[in-house]
Structure 1
Amino acid sequence: MLSAKKILKCLDDDWPVLEALANRSQLYSFSFQDVQALFTRYFPQLSSEQVFREAQKLLAQDILIPQAKSSQLELNRSVLEFIQFLTQEHNLGTVGDIQSRIDELDRLRARLDGAVRQKDVHEMRRFVRLMDERVREVVKHFRKNESAILHLVDKAKADDSNMSLARRYAAVMEAFDEYIEPVLQMIDINGPFQHSIETLEHCLSDLVQFIEDTGFMSGDKEPLVQLRTRLLDMNQIGRESLTRSTDVLMPLREELRKNTLISRNASLVLATLRKQGFEPIMEQLAAKFSSDHQKFSLGSANQITSYMAELVDYQDDNYQLPDAVDSQPGANIRVPDLQDVLKSARTQKSNTDLSKWLAHSYPQLPVDELLFLYQELSRAPALKLEHQDDVSEMEVNGFRLRLHPFVTRHSDRT
């Protein structure tokens, strides 16, 4: 069994070693010799016998435990989580962790209502205490996930490897898709999170009002007020944490989007060069000083003299690579300017589905660019859009999209 005093003392005495082992434990195991090497690195004043005793002490106190059927070691899970909490380097949780606590709050609220009707004081206090613990856990998850996202962003920016930008930002984009987007849907004004918070707040307010009117359980009024305040703070903390996380992730997402667009256009140019070659593309722009027949014939003295005289006054023009060689439309990907799209969208009539209008107006646009414009326009206050409850399905460039459409309000016809 772990001894709290001994663990705290080891953390204080051997913190550099344990911190290094915690970082390594996320991906790899380690051997007893690796632990000794870390003691030698961080505590060079220790002798070899002292290094062995220090490493053996971690084993004896169950801070280091052997893996099953292996000579490799790992940190005790409780110690690892405590070190990660102290260093704020948490693994990103899932939206299910938060949603399960909200579902538990709904269940406890129903039990609290039953205890109030039966005037069971003991059960009422127990359910209030359990709800207070669940609220604290939700706040902890919000803050932990925000810290994990900041750590992912810093790690992606500091990565100086030669990997592509998409691979460097893979974990960051996964955090946006697997955490930010689901939580945004969950805490939406019509989402289950907001509904549960409002229902629980009304329940606590009614109970506080009942205590004030009747004087029943007057000594338990303060915990109820504190729980209601903490519940409202949880809602605000979650929204602020999500806003900060989104503000950190969006620049990297935009950088990756632009890099992807550049890569696509570069791939199209290279594909054209491979198919047609470099000379057929450049021969339209190359300066011609002689005909094809003259290239393979000897000139006379007069021709050479005349040719050299013309070179004296020759001025070279600035030739540029063509924007598009292929005459077929859509050979090059051109993303419209966001402000131009916004101006066009403002001229649309009421009841216009924003997603269908974008797909009809820009049929050659890639799906990710179309969704980017859809996301930006849906937030534009100038359009005055309202979010529909019905799900709309549409197919764009081979992709099937399911969206809650944004539609212009009836009173905002232009």
Structure 2
Amino acid sequence: MFNPRSLVYALYTHWDIVEVLARLSRESAQFTTEQVQESIGKVSPHLDVEAQGAALRALVNADILQALPRSNDLLLNAYVLEFVRGLTREHELGLAAVLQARVAAIREATEGLNEGMARVDMDRVRGAAHKLAELFRQISLQLDQDRHALFELAEDAKSADSGMPITQRYRRVLEAYDQYVEPMNQMMDTGPQGTFYRHLEDAERALDLGLEQLSVQGALYSHRLQLRQVAHQAKELRRFGRLVALQCADTLLPLREELRQHNALTSAISMLLGQVRKRGLRRALSRHTEDSALPLWRNERGFKLQLGDEVRAVMAAVRQYQPQSVSFPQDDPHEAGPLLEYVDEVGIREHLAGSVPVDNLLDWLNNHYSHLQDATLLRLFHDLQHEPGLRIEPTDSIELTDLQAIRILHYPHRVTMDP
């Protein structure tokens, strides 16, 4: 059993060497003594052979490098390898099945949380909340690691030798898309087939209801705080999962489409060369041959030539062009009636105050101000009914009053001075 303090101190002392070995572990899981010494020499070229051997023995004594049984080879400690890869973003792409299993475990933990709240079993509620928090943490960590692993795959494919066959160049990208990105997209689908958002929504709903129930029951603040923190983790995980899925698809999908386009172009060129060999160059490239319409071989785009305003002005000046004048019809000012009319409401109120008593207010307005429109007369009729200082009382009889365009059936309003 290794000593954690000695391991951490040796990791601090020989970090550059361990970082190089962690990067080389992608190509070879086991190292020979010569490979380790060669790596130490690259990191610290000023060290002699004896100092390199001392550094190697220090790594072995701290259990950073472990000796394999029945062999002289060395193996990097699994805990150290995971720790270094996590800090240096050198992760390997995880398995989609592991992510799916953790997402499925959210449903079981949510059911345990609901049962604990139904039975008022706080131990089970806290245990289920702790399990949900741990699952959220593991899923978030795996999504972040897988995102960086996919980015590195894409960068390696883009920076590979252009002379390498494109199928070999993008082989790992296609495998990652088919084995990880596509299953992850299906799992994170918002439809009925997706499980990621559905299980997270159920867990989030159960946590919110549990927090509300604990608040009503007056539970301990630490219990409510635990549920609130786990609910915040669920909300953040939903956002982070959507972001990671979008970034992974945007990174790998263009490379996948580039490979498919290259395959289509290669097949089109091969077909064209075969036709040239069989029919000859002139017949194979004839525009009247239907088989010459090959995909991605020729791109024809039509265009239209238009004259600008400056060219039109120059041409008009040269040809002494005179535009024809077009007379537009004008509205007859006598046909349209006045839209607005002036009304002296202050004078009308003074006139009414001097004319009281008035037996029929509407007839009085029609007799003295018949030049006003019907809508204006009716507005004045309703406004004068609320005039302070006057008493307006409707009578019991019904009368007809003819205005300019309409006939009003109403109860006459008698106007007297307010005593």
TM-score exceeds 0.5 = yes
Say yes or no: does 1:89 pair with 2:51.
Answer: no
The answer (yes or no) to whether the contact 1:25–1:74 under 8 Å persists in 2 is no
1:154-233 to structure 2, matched below 5 A, reads 154-160=155-161, 162-190=163-191, 191-233=194-236
Residue 8 and residue 104 in structure 1: after superposition, are their counterparts in 2 closer, same or farther (change >3 A)? Answer: same
Q: Which residue of 1 aligns with 2:406?
A: none
| Distance (whole Å) between structure 2 residues aligned to residue 324 and residue 250 of structure 1 | 35
Task: In structure 1, give the amino acid aligned to 2:50.
Answer: E
Structure 2: segments with no counterpart, 5+ residues? 300-419
Q: Does the CA contact (< 8 Å) of 1:324 and 1:332 recur in 2?
A: no
Tell me, in whole angstroms, the C-alpha distance in 2 between the residues paired with 1:251 and 1:51.
46
Distance 1:219 1:44, change over 3 A: closer
Name the residue aligned to 1:322: 285
One-letter amino acid of the counterpart of residue 226, structure 1: Q
**Does the CA-based 8 Å contact 2:89-2:148 persist in structure 1?**
yes
- Partner SS for 1:264: helix
1:111 lines up with 2:73 in the alignment: no
Which deviations, in whole Å up to 9, do the C-alpha atoms of 1:43-66 show, x marking residues without a partner?
Answer: 122222121111112112221122
Contact 2:181 2:249 (C-alpha < 8 Å) held by counterparts: yes
1:65 is paired with a residue whose SS is strand
Distance in 2, matches of 1:94 and 1:73, equals: 27
CA distance in 2, matches of 1:55, 1:229: 46
User: Alpha-carbon deviation of 1:132?
Assistant: 0.5
* Structure 1 stretches lacking a partner, 5+ long: 286-320, 338-414
Larger radius of gyration: 2
User: SS of the counterpart of 1:160?
Assistant: coil
Deviations 1:37-89 (A, max 9, x none): 22222212222212111111211222112234322222111111111111111
1:31 Cα deviation after fit: 0.7
2:242 counterpart of 1:239: yes
Q: CA 1:336–1:270 in structure 2 vs 1: closer, same or farther (change >3 Å)?
A: closer
C-alpha contact 2:200 2:234 (8 A) present in aligned 1: yes
**Given the two structures, how large is their TM-score scaled by the length of structure 1?**
0.66
CA positional deviation for 1:9: 2.5
Match of 1:38 in 2: 39
Whole-angstrom distance in 2 between the partners of 1:208 and 1:336? 65
Distance 1:51 1:204, change over 3 A: same
TM-score (norm 2): 0.66
Partner of 1:26: 26
Q: CA deviation at 1:221?
A: 0.9
| Percent identical residues | 27
Is the partner of 2:280 in helix, strand or coil?
helix
Deviation at 1:262, TM superposition (A): 0.9
Shift of the 37–127 alpha-carbon distance from structure 1 to 2, 3 Å rule, reads same
Is the 1:30–1:72 contact (alpha carbons within 8 Å) kept by the matching residues of 2? yes
User: What residue is the counterpart of 1:270 in the other structure?
Assistant: 273
The equivalent residue for 1:281 is 280
Cα distance between partner residues in 1 of 2:12 and 2:162:
34
- Which residue of 1 is the match for residue 317 of structure 2? none
| Counterpart for residue 10 of structure 2 | 10
SS of the equivalent of 1:74 reads strand
Contact 2:272-2:292 within 8 A present in 1 as well? no
1:332 matches 2:288: no
Q: Alpha carbons of 1:186 and 1:240: their partners in 2 closer, same or farther (altered >3 Å)?
A: same
Contact 1:211 1:218 in 2 (8 A): no
**2:66 aligned counterpart, secondary structure:** strand
| Alpha-carbon displacement from aligned partner over 1:262-296 (angstroms, at most 9, x marks no partner) | 1111121233345x2xxx513x48xxxxxxxxxxx
User: Counterpart amino acid of 1:281?
Assistant: G
Partner Cα distance (1:242, 1:199) in 2: 20
Displacement of 1:228 in angstroms is: 0.8
Using the TM superposition, name which of 256-265 and 157-166 deviates more.
Answer: 157-166
Please say if residues 115 and 124 of structure 1, whose CA atoms lie closer than 8 Å, have aligned partners that are also in contact.
Answer: yes
What is the RMSD computed on CA atoms of the aligned residues? 2.4
